Structure 1
Amino acid sequence: MNDFDFFIGTWNVHNRRLVSRLTGSDEWEEFAGRSTCTRHFDGAANVDEIVFPAKGFSGLTVRVCDPATREWSIYWASSTGGALGLPPMVGRFEGGRGEFYADDAHEGRPVRCRFIWTVGGPDSCRWEQAFSVDGERTWETNWTMDFTRA
């Protein structure tokens, strides 16, 4: 239940985000962030806050592991929205890779959302988000974050 222990601490974050999602765009914007993650419930939960100075907003992630299934539920909130995003992303780690899924919407359009977490070692990791609109046959990666320990 301590799959996210690698993420505890403070990180410098390189963000790369598609300017326009689900439009066939290949124009990316890049910007910096800084994230701090804390451990709770003996590793079965954690909370991180990420600040995007150039964008003028922050995000908060709450992750909680179900001890019976060993599945994580991941909730996101933005300082611009004022509420936890629902439904949560749900999934698990196998080795150094975690996959998490939820049905969601983007600009009113139903999407299947996927997060992938990849552990690169004690001082690096990567998060990526992708959307599918065709039943998971294809995915459009629309946001990546490369973390290096501060």
Structure 2
Amino acid sequence: MTDTLPAETDAGASDFDFYHGRWHTYHRKLRDVLDPECTEWLEFEGVNECSVILDGLGNTETSTFDYETPFTGYTLRLYEPGTRLWRIWWASTRLPGVMGPPVEGRFDGGRGVFLADEELNGRMTKVRFEWTVVSPDETRWEQSFSYDEGATWKTNWTTTSRREA
């Protein structure tokens, strides 16, 4: 038996429906995302697969990255109907056994912004994920850090995803 979501939760709970399925990914990442002075960009590809969980109140994503040293990642996204917020957690084989604090936010139209405060390399940092739905078959994700309480942001990783046929 499948539970049916109340009508007031439907709008926000479907925010990530665009991403369900299998995607080929194109990454552009600073070599050291934790170094605010780093300017060396690396480019590589990968594959993401996103599946629905909890009757539509969340999804999981597994990712493979064809990086210098290949790695895999896992994303958990959960929707809270009462606040209409999404929370996104990330873990990878690059830092086994660790899942940092979630970023949280919501979509407005085809753009979602998700924020968190996190200690990175001993320094308090604001983390921002931005999702943009370019088309039904293309999305863009961007990660940025701010070291000055959000006055300025430095993008350190972008991903363009194209749906696999």
**TM-score band w.r.t. shorter chain:** over 0.9
Question: Are 2:58 and 1:45 aligned?
Answer: yes
Question: 1:127 corresponds to which residue?
Answer: 141
Is contact 1:11–1:148 with CA below 8 Å preserved after alignment? yes
Q: CA deviation at 1:84?
A: 4.6
Question: 2:77 corresponds to which residue?
Answer: 63
* CA pair 84-71 structure 1, distance change in 2 beyond 3 A: farther
Is contact 2:85–2:105 with CA below 8 Å preserved after alignment? yes
Is contact 1:4–1:43 with CA below 8 Å preserved after alignment? no
Question: 1:4 corresponds to which residue?
Answer: 16
Q: TM-score, normalised by structure 2?
A: 0.86
In 2, the alpha carbon distance for the partners of 1:65 and 1:97 equals 16
Q: CA deviation at 1:20?
A: 3.1
**AA of the residue aligned to 2:158:** T
Superposed structure 1 runs of 4+ greater than 6 Å apart? none
In 2, the alpha carbon distance for the partners of 1:135 and 1:96 equals 26
Q: CA deviation at 1:108?
A: 1.8
Question: 1:86 corresponds to which residue?
Answer: 100
Q: Deviations over 1:9-53 (max 9, x none)?
A: 000000100123443332200011100000122321000001013
User: If each structure's strand is expressed as a fraction of its own residues, which one has the higher value?
Assistant: 1
In 2, the alpha carbon distance for the partners of 1:83 and 1:93 equals 30
* CA pair 67-23 structure 1, distance change in 2 beyond 3 A: closer
Question: 2:4 corresponds to which residue?
Answer: none
Question: Are 2:147 and 1:147 aligned?
Answer: no
Unaligned runs of 5+ in 2: 1-12
Unaligned runs of 5+ in 1: none
Q: CA deviation at 1:86?
A: 2.6
**AA of the residue aligned to 2:27:** N
**AA of the residue aligned to 2:77:** R
Which SS does the other structure have where 1:3 is aligned?
coil
Match of residue 20, structure 1, among 27, 32, 41: 32
In 2, the alpha carbon distance for the partners of 1:29 and 1:58 equals 17
* CA pair 72-84 structure 1, distance change in 2 beyond 3 A: farther
Q: Which has the larger radius of gyration?
A: 2
